[in-house]
Amino acid sequence: MTMRLDRRFDRRTFIKLTSLAAAGAAGATLLRGLPAGVPAARVAAAGTQHISLAATDGFTFARGSVTGPGTTSILPDELAPAPLTWWGFGFRDVTGLTQSQTQAQRGKFQASAPQIYVDQYVPALANDVQISLLNLGMMIRPDLTDAHTIHWHGFRNALPLFDGVPEMSVAVPIGRSFTYEYRPRDPGTYMYHCHNEDTEHVSMGMTGIVFVRPAQNSGAGPIPAGKYVYNDGVLPSNPRSTAYDREWGMFLSEGWAQEHWDGAHIQEHDWSDYNADLWFLNGRSWPDTIVGPGGGTDASGDLVAPAGHDELQYNPISSLVKANSGDRVLLRFVNLGFQQHAMTIDGLTMRVVGKDATYLNGRDGTDLSYLTNTVYIGPGESVDAIITAPTVSSETTFLLYNRNLAYLHNPGEAGRGGQMTEIHVFPAGTVGPQPEPNKNPA
Amino acid sequence: MTRLTSTRRRLGLLAAATLAMSSMSGAATVTAVGPPPSGIVCTSDAGTNPSFTLHATSGYVSIPDGNTIYMWSYSDSGSTAFQLPGPTLCVNQGDNVTVTLVNDLAEPVSIVFPGQTGVQANGSPAEPQLSGTEVTSLVQPALPGGGTMIYTFTASEPGTYIYESGTDPVKQVQMGLYGALAIRPAGHADWAYDDVATKFKASTEYVMLLSEVDPDLHQAIERGQSYDFTTLHPRYWMINGRSFPDTIAPNSAAWLPNQPYSAMVHVEPYDAGSNPNPALIRYLNVGGLNHPFHPHGNHGRVIARDGRLLEGGAGEDLSYEKFTVLVGSGQTWDTTFKFTDEEGWNPSTNPIPVTIPQPQNIIYKGNATWYSGSPYLGVQDELPVGVTSFNECGEFYHVAHSHALNEAANYDAGFGGMLTLIRIDPSGGC
């Protein structure tokens, strides 16, 4: 489940509105004579953008097997109810859920955390962002009293109160909620995570992606309304444009099976022994990365697993990319692991247009974007890369994978695993408009 | 994890409180002779032919978890005290620099100056020392037992540079034989490079020298035992030879006699009229791992790497803003940093549009906080009874740390290691 722009709209209304806006933009595009494939418009709504998150623990699915001292199975953890395999904690999106639905999510976090996307603040729209965090406490470790926070990583000129570092301001105790106030003036790709006992809370799963859509999406002078990464100030036909048709967050993280087992079994560990043995793309390892997304929430507020994949109920975010020839596909890479990663694609070229929520543009307007087939990215960095899908006569598959081949692996499993997914390119006109980030049309 | 019944408290939290208070009172009322509480501490020599004498020697540093580590380092001849890292050498572009190395250790030691050209050693070109195909040293070393070697070079390009041992560097650099060299552009002490776009506020210039320590290596060397470098496994993570919370202690803190350099950043909000120039932060990575360093509060603008201004062949500005700088092993990165009170929130005229919960519904972690009790810059408000505040006048604090979060720890204890604080005072200071 992903964030809505405004809680006043339900999903159905929202899709209808964006479809109408898309149709309008297509018309405008034709009038201006711009090339086909100009993206659908995303016009920002007025009013505060509300999002509600809950923090809690639970079991999710990590692929592979790890045996500890003796014959103890570290992964899967025997405490995990099949088909789930390990314990952790993190966030859930509870925007729009009732109070009882929200409370029922205790012990049911998702990995990776919900994608948050919001519109850039525009004074005339008075569209501040407010994210409330409710700490639901721990189901499996009721002896733990961990507070939680939200740190919007990279937010410029942040106030300590809303920066989420508990030693510099405050944290949210169990059973309480706190509303973080943001006025996002700078579009781009960011990340968020809990900063309370950050080493542990980040590696346990309290990590996700957040991005800010630019005001230019509503159009700016001759620039038509559409989908852009930044306020680039150029027409979509300009090679420097950040216009795109489809977008995927590519959220990179790692797991240390021993740490998760230790946590569930009331054991301590030593951070200087950190030794990742699982690698994730949007909270899943290959080949789960190409399974479709989860199906939102059910009547109880619980997550609905992807069809045929009950094990991925709490790993709902898909990384399967589908696009038409000529589409501009935006990949928002974010790394919130502790290691550096080298995400590469054979046969396609990426244009890196942004880093760390900043358009790659010198103060004097110099173009700092560049072409590459490998995005090298450290912990706490983000990279915006656009692929133009090549012309194909039939469905063609490309792989996006970590060129650090040691990380292309699931513990105890033969063959490839870890941080890899597929990009499927189809002849023009095959794939319908993208309903939401990281999702393909039905 | 916070256990209901746990008595485990982070080592150093109380120590941190003491340090922060010391730092603050020092910042507000410094009158004594000595370095300012935070910011670069230059070892310099007036004139156009600056000369330095560095002793390669051994000593001990302290870690906030109570451990003591045996280190090697370069120490200034003006003091018999061991110090980690070596002195920050500041010279001007065009200077003819002489560095005399005196080797008080029991094996050959040298100094390489990456980024400098035309370096001479005892009057001959500095060059690799070979014994057959074995490289015994990257440059001519000083022999053990008080031997000397005189290195000279012309400081031709302004910027931030490392100096470090070139002899058995796998061991000697890990042991602590490193330091920073700042070359200032001719005629402009408050420019980072020979470009007005790199102008910074002179009182807000900082060095962040990043390093790692594997205590097993240091213990083996201290005991004269062999050590297998394929087992190298850092457990401590440092900025300027200190681990958090020691990083925020003032320069020359009396309780850190061998670790003289603070890593605390201390600025006031950007103001086009009264405070137009940013701080300068010089990052150097003398470790073997790359460190993704993330300052909270705002992006930094990367203006140079490895002592070279980011500009194109026709003078194009190639600088860019980052919220994390991935400083590679052996690299230096220069960034400018400023904080803007963007929204001008004010409790009466422009209040923040959310309700802040009552204190009983909030956690003040460990009952000790850098928070003022108020979200507004320059405003202090009540904190619950029993919460100790390190806040002086409503100033802001942000953390700045390695985002390889296993490095933001002291061995097994979190909120330590390669981490420091950025302090933002209200305009005009506290």
- Taking CA atoms, what residue in A is nearest to B328? A378
- Taking CA atoms, what residue in B is nearest to A145? B2
* pLDDT, tens only, A125-139: 999 999 999 999 999
Mean pLDDT across the stretch A154-182?
98
| B296–A130 CB contact, under 8 Å | no
Mean pLDDT across the stretch B292-315?
97
| pLDDT score recorded for residue B27 | 40
Chain B residues whose CB is inside 8 A of the A355 CB are 320, 322
Q: What is A35-87 written as a DSSP string? A: PTTPPPP-PPPSS-EEEEEEEEEEEE---S-EE-STT-EEETTTTSPTT--EE
Mean pLDDT across the stretch B263-272?
98
Q: Where are the beta strands (DSSP E) in B63-157?
A: 68-76, 88-92, 96-103, 120-121, 124-125, 129-131, 134-137, 147-154
Cα end-to-end span (Å), chain B: 36
A22 half-sphere exposure, CB direction, 13 A CA radius: 16
Give Rg (Cα) of chain A. 21
Best mutation target among A89, A145, A168 (most B Cβ atoms within 10 Å) is A168
Best mutation target among B323, B397, B399 (most A Cβ atoms within 10 Å) is B323
CA distance A300 to A297: 8
Q: How confident is the model at residue B19 (pLDDT cuts 50, 70, 90)?
A: very low
H or E element that contains A11: helix A11-32
CA distance A291 to B290: 34
Tokens representing B383 are 């904190």
* pLDDT, tens only, A185-235: 999 999 999 999 999 999 999 999 999 999 999 999 999 999 999 999 999
Tokens representing A31 are 């009038």
**Is-contact A165 B399, C-beta < 8 A?**
yes
Cis ω for the linkage preceding B234 (within 30 of 0): no
Best mutation target among A134, A140, A150, A159 (most B Cβ atoms within 10 Å) is A159
Q: Is the ipTM of this complex over 0.95?
A: no
**H-only helix segments in B30-102:** none
Tokens representing B341 are 């009170």
Residues contacting residue B313 through CB under 8 Å, at least 6 positions apart: none
CA distance A220 to A417: 44
Backbone φ, ψ for residue B4 (5° rounding): -55, -40
| A183–B342 CB contact, under 8 Å | yes
**Is-contact B110 B101, C-beta < 8 A?**
yes
* pLDDT, tens only, A140-152: 999 999 999 999 9
How far does B301 lie from chain A, in Å, by closest CA? Answer: 10
Chain A residues whose CB is inside 8 A of the B365 CB are 147, 166-167, 171, 196
Residue of B168, B161, B180, B170 lying closest to B105 (CA atoms): B168
* pLDDT, tens only, A67-117: 988 889 999 999 999 999 999 999 999 999 999 999 999 999 999 999 999
| pLDDT score recorded for residue A351 | 98
**pTM for this model (two decimals):** 0.92
CA distance A409 to A420: 9
- The answer, yes or no, to whether residue A41 has pLDDT greater than 80, is no
